[in-house]
Structure 1
Amino acid sequence: MSKAMAVVVIFRSGAESCAIERALVQHIAPVPALSRPPLTPPALAGFLNLAGQALPVVRAERLFGGADTADDNIYRHVLILNLGDEQIGLLVDRVLDVRDVDLGALREVSREASVNGSVVGDLSLDDGIVHLLSGDRLLMAAESVQIEQLRAAEQARLDAWAPS
């Protein structure tokens, strides 16, 4: 009997341990300086200037209904994710591990158990329960539209200040 294995990035977000498939993670970075334009919604930490491209950075704890964690946490990371046609940064409290997991041991959870069904299942690991996230369901459609509008405005600002 073969096991379905996947490599995941495990991280903390508030009181929760979560994981996302490594294939979706382009890069793991320490938290850089982020620009935060006026009227930015609380779930959006700001924008990262990634080689002249405005990358929206979303607070992971806000996606799951939690309160903001301290911005002065020196162990925070940004997971730069490729989610189909869009790229976003996910601000997490701390990346804990990158490891192989047995998806055959995944305990499925109902779609209603998390916002937008973003948690597809729970993994029982040595350190406790870890929620496996779906990259396709991290953001609701309305959130994606609003973030794209804000990203376009931030990109226009970056382009206006770019050296000629």
Structure 2
Amino acid sequence: MARLQVVLFHTCGMECALRRDAVRELLPVPHLQRPPGLPRPVAGFFNLSGAAVPVVRLDVLFGLEGAELSPEAGLYRHLILVGDPVADLPTALLVDRVEDVVEISSPQVFPVHERGTLNGCVEAEIETGGRLIPLLSPQRILMAEERQALAELSRQAQNRLGTWAVTA
């Protein structure tokens, strides 16, 4: 029986999951640079070993931003670093809390029709602990136009970061 590892997390009261193999790293939230004019879904950028990484707010993308966190809860937010290994374009997803990494079996995975969610961002539902949890596809969370705009914003942030590089 096939097994699947998933990362479980919460964002504004909604429990979600990502395939473990799609997650590069789980990070605490660093100081984010937020240049003027960023679209609301982009929380800002941070420097990861010389790369300007965009941080995307899932609460805004999913229309859940009305559920504000207490200041204390905000201290425990996480970034889930995902990315396209071919294009090497990392993106961080801002979530309220990463809960666990669990292993599930094939009978616990229920496919979702691509047309059933916006841009097919939910690839399946998984059953764990008596709950059905949407399994998100990191490649489909953003629409093509949004990915293109984010790539351009990332290029600009990388150029700005490069102007501050110290040369020997």
**TM over 0.5, shorter chain:** yes
Say how many residue pairs are matched.
162
| Mapping 1:112-123, distance limit 5 Å | 112-123=115-126
What is the match of residue 76 of structure 1? 77
Matched residue, 1:61:
59
Tell me which residue corresponds to 2:36. Answer: 38
Q: Following superposition, which runs of at least 4 residues in structure 1 exceed 3 angstroms of deviation?
A: 68-72
Which moved further from structure 2: 128-137 or 42-51?
Answer: 128-137
8 A Cα contact 1:56 1:151, kept in partner: yes
TM-score by length of 1: 0.91
Distance 2:118 2:61 in 1: 7
What one-letter code is carried by the residue in structure 2 that aligns with 1:134? S
Aligned residue for 1:150, secondary structure, equals helix
Q: Displacement, 1:101?
A: 1.2
Residue 12 of structure 2 contacts residue 69 of structure 2 at CA under 8 Å; is this kept in 1?
Answer: no
Distance 1:127 1:157, change over 3 A: farther
Identity within the alignment, %: 36
* Structure 2: runs of 5 or more not aligned: none
The equivalences for 1:111-150 within 5 A come to 111-126=114-129, 128-150=131-153
Does the aligned pair in 2 maintain the 1:19–1:130 contact within 8 Å? Answer: yes
Structure 1 range deviating more: 32-41 or 116-125: 116-125
Secondary structure, aligned partner of 1:18: strand
Report the TM-score, using the length of structure 2 for normalisation: 0.89
SS of 1:36's equivalent?
Answer: coil
